[in-house]
Amino acid sequence: MVVIRYHFTLRIIAMADFIKTSLGQLTTEARNPLTRDLDNLSAIEIVKLINSEDEKLAHVVGQVAEPIARGIEIIADRLSRGGRLIYIGAGTSGRLGMLDAVECPPTFNTEPELVVGLIAGGPEGFLRAVEGAEDSLQMGRDDLQNIELGTLDVVVGIAASGRTPYVVGALDYAREIGAYAIAFSCNQDAELKRHADLSIIPVVGPEILSGSTRLKAGTATKMVLNMLTTGAMVRIGKTYSNLMVDLRATNSKLAERANRIVQSLTDCSHAEASTLLDRCGGEVKTAIVSNKLGISPGDARTHLKSVKGHLRLALESAESSNGKSR
């Protein structure tokens, strides 16, 4: 036990040394030659300059389409088998992970525990930096242990710099227990790559304001996280065409959207769609299946369950059965 702790301590020291010597080598820390006169610009010139830099990000993210797609496949597979998606990061990276996670329940009617966002320093870290939290390998491990990380879970460690110890510790723990570890960074030679099963690294280049990764790196991060959850949810049947058929109507806007979706797919009037949704407990997919197949809400739920909630499969399988019966 003493030897193990000794080696773990050495590892922490080695990580600290790595961090001290490598910060200046990161492209996200470099000075952007296009923005050296930033403090001499007018407001409109600042806006145009930031916009011109942001325009490059879609291309940069497109260059890592294959690892993003691989991430979507892995996440969808794990979710369909009872796993979870866990985002973990510090500062802006952690906040963006939490933001993407909390948008999943209203958008896709998922349980809050399905997509989880963790940030260094806990909930307090969302509003302000918690001293020393992001520099701790152990805290990253502890936070995953506290949510009882399992072998079917996917952990996406987010660190624009690619060197945050909190995230490194989390990814190491994920791999140790058999969970799938995905590293996200915006620096090509990110330390995180050596601690993950898959790496997604859009290289955004120097920031408009040197080192301020809430800017280009933050925008690229949000783009990729949106792709991961949206792609995975599409793959596990949370959409039909480009419609949010699994949304949770938690406010009047979403209730109206649910009504429009039912109208669109059933040719019902607004009033008929409202009545149908009321009978089906507000469940959009149940309402559509009940209407299209002429069955009760209970039978519609049973039919949807038989095809793992895929609305397209529910409708197509019913059409196929009807065709054979003729």
Q: Would you name the residues annotated as active-site residues?
A: 103, 134
Exposed/middle/buried for residue 162 (C-beta within 10 Å: 0-12, 13-18, 19+): buried
Structure tokens at 314: 């529910």
Residue type, 122: G
**Three-state DSSP class for 23?**
helix
Whole-number Å distance between alpha carbons of 73 and 76? 5
The DSSP symbol for 236 reads: T
Tokens of 53: 């830099």
284-293 vs 252-266: helix axis angle to the nearest 10?
20
Burial class (CB within 10 angstroms; exposed 0-12, middle 13-18, buried 19+) of 111: exposed
Instruction: Measure the CA–CA gap between 7 and 141, rounded to whole angstroms.
Output: 17
Cα–Cα distance between 179 and 84 in angstroms, integer?
10
Which pair of tokens denotes residue 72? 């979507």
Closest CA to 234 of 224, 225, 245: 245
Distance CA 97, CA 105 (A): 14
In 189-300, DSSP assigns E strands to 198-200
Contacts of 238 (CB under 8 A, 6+ apart): 108, 109, 110, 244, 245, 246, 309
Q: Are 190 and 159 in contact (CB under 8 A)?
A: yes
Q: Which two tokens stand for residue 3?
A: 């030897």
